Amino acid sequence: MLLSRTAGAVLMAVAMDIAPQQTTAELFDDAVLHTVQLFINSRDLTILRQRFGENIYMPADIVIDGTRVRNVAVRVRGTASRNPTKMGLRVDFNFYTPGQRFRGLESIVLDNLYQDSSNIREMLAMNVFRRMGEPAPREAFCRMSINNQYQGLYGLVEEIVPEFAAGVTGEADGFLFEYHNSFPYRGEDLGPGFDLYKMLFEPRSHELETDEQLYGPIRDLFHDMNEPDDAVWLERMTPRLDLPQFMRSVGIEAALAEMDGVLGFFGMNNFYLHRSAVTGQQRIFIWDRDFAMSFLDLSVVRGLVDYPIFGRAFANSELRTAYLDAAENVARMIADNDWLESEVNRLAALIDTATREDPKKPFTNEFFDQEIAFLREFARFRPAFLMDEIARVR
């Protein structure tokens, strides 16, 4: 019997236990509390817990909203959030089965939500970034179990991979780096060598290129960033970095009172750096916003001049305007029809039972309630505070 192309695809999907015509939009539907079940050999699970600080992969099956994907690879992930009790996980669908995808994705992150007692800060922040026109990973919530034992509420998070960057930039062959907060770093010139930059920037594409090809442009970026001649600073930096995009992104971050972002309290953190293979210009993608909305009255210019790039860029009238406009637009958007408070209420209701039943969360249900109440207060207080401060700064 001859099969049409469509029928053949359906039968292949059924054979792989993957439902046909499912989309990433369905996977990251944040109006749904999804279910994720992980099935892994008990010995392998023990190894993952015992060696949680290592990036070792183990084979497993995963069932997402009833759809099984066999023979995936899982490893523990995270930095400060790494722990053996409620493990954050990276799931690689094609590690053992080349070409295997789930809803078009090669991998996905299962975020253990370990550092945010409200569980919803990152989701709220990513939604704000996207509404402001800045690309950000899509996310949804799920109830997660391992070998039929409930592990608690998790986030389903889209990973920033070359395909993500290509979808944003339209360029398939760019250079993508994940930033690691290996030591407190604020963008100083680290000298002519590559060793320190290699500690900070892990390549996520072009991994086999030479150090010069990978890190030369990064070294040059931070060298030029710190050159003392203000008269030519903008001219030198523009080919290196998309400065308007950078200032818009950190302006949104500042409006959200983020303490652990690109311009964090303890150095740069939680972003990816992308470099065009065509123009050589670089830009950032934000990532991991568990500490957003942690302060009601955090200034949008608090100490940021300590960062060489911010102080120099803020001195330029057009870039200062881009930064302040981004922060002001956030203030207007989150206040419009009480959007942010409505989102806090919607997401809190969605995850309430799953959070309270979470046996591995590192906080009490009472503290969860307090954090949700704080976010409601943030939504009411922050817009007016921002508008007043921005008017004074302008």
pLDDT tens column, 110-147 = 999 999 999 999 999 999 999 999 999 999 999 999 99
Reply yes or no on whether the pLDDT at 291 is more than 90: yes
pLDDT in tens, 177-228: 999 999 999 999 999 999 999 999 999 999 999 999 999 999 999 999 999 9
Confidence of residue 13 (pLDDT cuts 50, 70, 90): very low
Tell if the pTM clears 0.75, that is, is over it. Answer: yes
- Determine how β-strand 107-111 pairs with β-strand 149-157: antiparallel
Give dist(CA 362, CA 170) in Å, integer: 41
Give per-residue pLDDT as tens, 94-120: 999 999 999 999 999 999 999 999 999
Cα 33–chain centre separation: 20
Alpha-carbon gap, residue 132 to 242, rounded angstroms? 17
pLDDT (0 to 100) of residue 22:
56
Strands 33-39 vs 139-146: parallel, antiparallel or unpaired? parallel
Q: Closest Cα to residue 153, out of 162, 141, 165, 138?
A: 141
| Percent of the chain whose pLDDT exceeds 70 | 94
The residue behind tokens 């369905």 is 26
- Could you identify the residue written with the tokens 């049409």? 4
- Amino acid type, 246: F
In the chain, what is the straight-line distance between the N-terminal and C-terminal CA atoms, in Å?
73
Q: Is the Cβ–Cβ distance between 187 and 225 less than 8 Å?
A: yes
Cβ within 8 Å of residue 62, ≥6 positions away: 36, 37, 38, 39, 68, 69, 72, 74, 91
312, HSE (Cβ side, Cα atoms, 13 Å) = 23
- Which H or E run contains 231? helix 230-237
Do residues 354 and 141 make contact, with C-beta atoms less than 8 angstroms apart? yes
The residues near 200 (Cβ < 8 Å, ≥ 6 apart) are 179, 180, 182, 185
Query: Could you write out the DSSP letters of every residue in 122-182?
Result: HHHHHHHHHHTT-----EEEEEEEETTEEEEEEEEE----HHHHHHHHS-TT-EEEEE--S
Side-chain half-sphere of 123: how many Cα atoms within 13 Å?
27
| Residue matched to tokens 């359906």 | 10
